[in-house]
Amino acid sequence: MRQPLAFTLVNFVVAGSALAASPAPALTPAFFAAHRQNFVAKLPPGAIAIVRTAPETNVETSPDPYRPDSDFWYLTGFGEPNAVAVIRPWAPEGERYILFVPPRDPEQETWNGWRAGVDGAKKDFGAEQAFPMDDFARKLPELILGAKSLYYLDGGDAPFRERLFPVWNGLNPNATVPRPMADAGPIVHELRLIKDATEMALVRRAAELSAEAHVAAMREVKPGRYEYNVKAAMVATCLNGGAARMAYPPIVGSGRNSVILHYEPADKRMDDGAMIVNDTACEYSMYAADVTRSYPVSGKFTADQRAIYEIVLAAQKAAIAAVKPGVPFHTMNAATVDVVVDGLLKLGILKGTREEIIKSGAQRKYYPHGSSHWVGMNVHDPGSYGLKDGVTGPERYRMAATALQPGMVFTVEPGIYIPEGSDTDKRWWNIGVRIEDEILVTATGGECLSCAAPREIADVEKAIAAGAAPAKR
């Protein structure tokens, strides 16, 4: 019989695909202990942290395997639902790290999988103490006794938080204001922003596997085939490479769907002459990738498709070239906007001067999103962009002030989308192009993790030509 551990921790130590270059590192309890140590170092003296994982999913709510909350997993490595971590740095040794977990239960395990149980939580996950989850409410008052402030994470389980607060405030029934408490999210998210060596290897693996999937997808492209053939090639490559799931719902849109930023149905026949935007990537061992390629169904760019594509590619390269430690996050977006505006002016799709257009934001008609976001355990990782309070909408792209540091990972993904009916020559209609890669900040610049997916026109055309198989449904 397999040990319970095999379904929890080892669940994330998936054997590397034979195809991909970077080996997957083994995740040890020390990896998570280091995250807890860094977290504790950021807590104020006397604080207690209570961290809940994500609510359980089932076949009705998600077709994918259960995914623990990213923050909870980052701190614990514990992959089962219905668990809570309690961290009390000020308590005596042996009472500082406590896990509440689903207890061993042969009948329940037969339905829903192996459990680590209370013993496994101590032995395999480093908990100094562990209890069945059902004991949490009863033990909570004694655990919070002596804590000066509460740092919590509810893992998306709002009822958990609502039950927690009255207990915390109930410690002093005479208080007229709530006792000090804060969302622990910003602290964990700041840590997650800088990837350690193991995390870098996982992000790299997710990006490389996704790049491999994009090559496989290009081989599926041919007039008469369907968007779902492209999507299926992506999903097959990710899962064959050991991904537990996709990093986000695949976006494969051709023709008029190529100008929809988040087109999900993938049910349309791919017609000769149309462009495809394929924004699809794998999640590997809890780390996401985010990669987009765009190409013509015919396998050969028309002059007009090429003209738009070359602007987007030049914009992406300009932004990647600008990456280095110390520059503010908005640098990449500004670099893409300059190139996109200049390119659209040259084609006559925008009119005026670069300065006027950027000031009025007129380019947003065809380039409506920002160039970059953090990537990590989540595809839109929650690290801070260094925005002042109240900055919303497209201003965010211009104002993101966080200075780049080695170990940060983000996308560079300019795009141009010209919907039918746009105020342009008809020949541009329904051309959508987005090129997206993941960049790791190094000591000297930016390293593209996903650029093994072809993006030069000649390379893209070659990759599509390599898959001249007969049309299928």
Binding site for Mn ion (CB under 5 A): 290, 411
For 122-249, list the strands marked E by DSSP: 129-132, 149-153, 181-183, 245-246
Give 411 or 430: the residue with its C-beta nearer to Mn ion. 411
CB closer to Mn ion out of 212 and 290: 290
Structure tokens, 75? 């701190």
Closest residue to Mn ion using C-beta atoms: 290
Q: Are 298 and 223 in contact (CB under 8 A)?
A: yes
Rounded Cα–Cα distance for residues 241 and 472 (Å)? 24
- Closer Cβ to Mn ion, 114 or 248, answer by number: 248
DSSP classification of residue 328:
B
What is the smallest separation between the CB atom of 136 and Mn ion, expressed in angstroms?
37
Amino acid identity of residue 382, one-letter, is: P
The Cα 439–Cα 447 span in angstroms is 5
Distance set, CA 171 to CA 47, 89, 141, 332, 398 (Å): 15, 19, 8, 49, 45
Least gap, CB of 213 to Mn ion (angstroms): 15
278 versus 411: smaller Cβ distance to Mn ion: 411
Nearer to Mn ion, 80 or 290 (CB): 290
Which of 280/411 has CB closer to Mn ion?
411
Q: What is the end-to-end Cα distance of the chain in Å, rounded?
A: 42
Angle formed at CA 32 by CA 30 and CA 38, multiple of 5 degrees: 100
75 Rama sector, left if φ>0, alpha if ψ -120 to 50, beta otherwise? alpha
Three-class SS state of 4: helix
Closer residue to Mn ion, CB minimum distance, 333 or 411: 411
Comparing CB distances to Mn ion, the nearer of 208 and 290 is 290
Largest CA distance in the chain: 77
Shortest separation between residue 372's beta carbon and Mn ion, angstroms:
8
258: its two tokens: 């190529």
Alpha helices in 287-348, H assignment, sequence order? 303-321, 330-346
Residue 247 CA to residue 243 CA, distance in Å, equals 9
**H or E element: which one contains 201?**
helix 197-218
Complex with Mn ion: residue 117 or 370, whichever CB lies closer? 370
CB of 411 to Mn ion, least distance (A): 4
3-state SS record for 392-431:
CCCHHHHHCCCECCCCCEEEECCEEEECCCCCCCHHHCCE
Closest by Cα among 124, 44, 113, 126 to 85:
126
Which amino acid, residue 351?
A: K
Is residue 419 a contact partner of residue 258, using CB atoms and an 8 Å limit? Answer: no
Quick one: 157 or 290, whose CB is closer to Mn ion? 290
